[in-house]
Structure 1
């Protein structure tokens, strides 16, 4: 037994460090827990050992105990296998969403309860509230750092057992607190890249699990303009890595990925970031998850994001009562809405829930989907 009422997920970063600091200073009995979720394969900068040392140093500085758990097998089966399968199918998954649901707010929460704690806390920028007897997931005060998009798969049980100490703070204030307290993570760069795997050459990393299969790059009307190393290395709206330019018969405008024909191993590209082939006004989803346990209505208006840090977009949501999937119609055309990513719904500052995007009405996607049917 830890004797702590709250177990803080210590990632070795500045955000979790300050979350622990705030709880300690509030008089909450706490302990830290460092999660090992990826067995380093030597292919890139995993940083797990550095992060572990920083987590230990922070807990030492704060005078709190720290525990360790290895969830690498759970991460592999619960997150990474799905991640690879989605790329193999030509979709672009968001592992952070699944990682939060399966690891941070399932296995970590279970481990904290085994240690005798009532709650967990993390350094996410989000907030928890209550209304009408229900727990609510609320946006953080620092909208530029708000992470509710990645947390939309949480439910009532998880929110009842979670604290987000940074919900009311700006990132600049978090770093200032870390500096003033002398925390060793005060100037540490924010982590980026795949959840728990870190920064590395993504194409090289993915090629270990999805061997390269070269094919043609074509325009939407079928003209061959180059070759690609594998359609699953690219996502809709991507500009980098195409290595197209100076093609005879085309102007000098940059090229973008506008479609993936997985069945024929063709990457479809077009010129201009405003290509009509990247535009859609309607999407269909897989079965949705609702933070409150059920949707507010069978059909309702709200706002939505189809990617992280995107401005909220007004939309109307209709629910298929038999499958639980969504049809979302946007007031304005959206750019590069990507199957495999999540559509996350909001009512003001409250996150309602969300779902994985299955399809859109982008003209090229509809054509490719019809040809494959």
Structure 2
């Protein structure tokens, strides 16, 4: 068996490497070529090439395409640039805009992995005769009793498993993640050792198609006239002020609300896109212990009706918390948290873990508070978002 799990020499194993132009994917390609694999690099042009030339910290456009091509030339393997701009706009950017207008807080990087990279690019890799698609993601893949499994990266600070929850079992069978066992500092050291010009290149920080983090500007461009002003109200419905569009707010937000002079700090509790209202309240009003999911993707054996105990991550930067997850309908699920969480936002993902293993996850559709002891009242209060 070679290092990718195939019963043949590396030279007889073609691997397509998804190259974004950054240090991680470049080192992935270099490592595989150094082992003797038949490497083919592919970079996707995902949005306007010219507009992104000068944008630092982006990926998949402009300078990054040039950097990926230069790495391939340095190492001596073929490299292709595929124009996926229309697919990216339809599958990622349009959904991003619609999600914000629904009062959600979307994660376009997950949609990009789910649709463009691990669906369309994976199909292209097969067409090229590849036996695997390798990426520079920090996540581990191993083969268990039931087939391939996804596990968190060895370097917890770099782990990207939250953003890969929508990867299907079939896709995971074809994917490889050579950096999953490496710390970032070692990856940069390898880039220097291989003589790659991107060794000191900064990591991507912003969403690639959102210049300077201005989500509102992108949504306004994609949905002209769809952003309307409205009222900021407290949880009793009293008007506290005005806003210029709900896309400027997210559940759990404290700063930038524009309302002062209150006894307690105010947080965004929920967004009501139909009435264009932003509802604010004290932190305790954010408490949620029930989370409903849509588009559930489960990587383990079928989720039993009675549910399973998991640790669930409700935002990428938060630690997992204990919960019970149960199937709900055809492709949904219900998560009951042991303790209430604060700032759980529709549009984000809930990703379930068992130890280091990623069991699956889904998109947060609704949240509620159901347990009376968390409300301070005699009756259980249901507060949905």
Q: What residue number does 2:101 align with? A: 88
Residue 79 (structure 2) aligned to one of 45, 59, 66? 66
After superposition, the C-alpha distances for 1:330-353 in whole angstroms (9 at most, x for unaligned) are 112211111111111111111111
- Do 1:38 and 1:196's aligned partners in 2 also have CA atoms closer than 8 Å? yes
**Alpha-carbon distance between aligned partners in 1 of 2:143 and 2:208, rounded to the nearest angstrom:** 29
**Alpha-carbon distance between aligned partners in 1 of 2:295 and 2:239, rounded to the nearest angstrom:** 37
- Do 1:4 and 1:117's aligned partners in 2 also have CA atoms closer than 8 Å? yes
Instruction: Report the 3-state secondary structure (helix = DSSP H, G, I; strand = E; otherwise coil) of the residue aligned with 2:109.
Output: helix
Residue 17 (structure 1) aligned to one of 15, 26, 42? 26
Shift of 1:230: 0.6
Structure 2, unaligned stretches of length 5 or more? 1-11, 376-380
- Do 1:139 and 1:349's aligned partners in 2 also have CA atoms closer than 8 Å? yes
1:279 aligns with 2:283: no
- Do 1:156 and 1:293's aligned partners in 2 also have CA atoms closer than 8 Å? no
Residue 275 (structure 2) aligned to one of 243, 250, 264? 264
Q: What residue number does 2:8 align with? A: none
1:186 aligns with 2:199: yes
1:233 aligns with 2:248: yes
Shift of 1:225: 2.7
Residue 310 (structure 2) aligned to one of 302, 307, 311? 302
Relative distance call for 1:280 and 1:222 in structure 2 (3 A) is same
Shift of 1:368: 6.3
Relative distance call for 1:262 and 1:41 in structure 2 (3 A) is farther
**Alpha-carbon distance between aligned partners in 1 of 2:275 and 2:324, rounded to the nearest angstrom:** 35
Instruction: Report the 3-state secondary structure (helix = DSSP H, G, I; strand = E; otherwise coil) of the residue aligned with 2:158.
Output: coil
1:34 aligns with 2:49: no
**Alpha-carbon distance between aligned partners in 2 of 1:202 and 1:346, rounded to the nearest angstrom:** 30
Residues 1-373 of structure 1: pairs in structure 2 closer than 5 A: 5-39=14-48, 42=51, 45=55, 48-195=61-208, 199-210=212-223, 211=225, 212-245=227-260, 247=261, 250-251=262-263, 254-271=265-282, 275-292=283-300, 294-295=302-303, 298-320=306-328, 322-362=329-369, 366-367=382-383
Q: What residue number does 2:5 align with? A: none
Q: How many residues align?
A: 360
Shift of 1:4: 6.8
Instruction: Report the 3-state secondary structure (helix = DSSP H, G, I; strand = E; otherwise coil) of the residue aligned with 2:62.
Output: helix
Q: Which structure is richer in relative contact order (CA contacts within 8 A, separation 6 or more)?
A: 1
Structure 1, unaligned stretches of length 5 or more? none
- Do 2:288 and 2:340's aligned partners in 1 also have CA atoms closer than 8 Å? yes
Relative distance call for 1:324 and 1:31 in structure 2 (3 A) is closer
**Alpha-carbon distance between aligned partners in 2 of 1:221 and 1:184, rounded to the nearest angstrom:** 58
- Do 2:304 and 2:326's aligned partners in 1 also have CA atoms closer than 8 Å? no
After superposition, the C-alpha distances for 1:299-351 in whole angstroms (9 at most, x for unaligned) are 1101110111211111111222x434211111122111111111111111111
Superposed CA RMSD in Å reads: 2.5
Structure 1 length as normaliser, TM-score? 0.89
Relative distance call for 1:143 and 1:124 in structure 2 (3 A) is same
- Do 2:368 and 2:384's aligned partners in 1 also have CA atoms closer than 8 Å? no
Relative distance call for 1:308 and 1:111 in structure 2 (3 A) is same
After superposition, the C-alpha distances for 1:47-72 in whole angstroms (9 at most, x for unaligned) are 61110111111112222221111111
- Do 2:366 and 2:384's aligned partners in 1 also have CA atoms closer than 8 Å? no
After superposition, the C-alpha distances for 1:222-251 in whole angstroms (9 at most, x for unaligned) are 333322111122111123432333x3xx24
Instruction: Report the 3-state secondary structure (helix = DSSP H, G, I; strand = E; otherwise coil) of the residue aligned with 1:218.
Output: strand
Structure 2 length as normaliser, TM-score? 0.86
Instruction: Report the 3-state secondary structure (helix = DSSP H, G, I; strand = E; otherwise coil) of the residue aligned with 2:121.
Output: helix
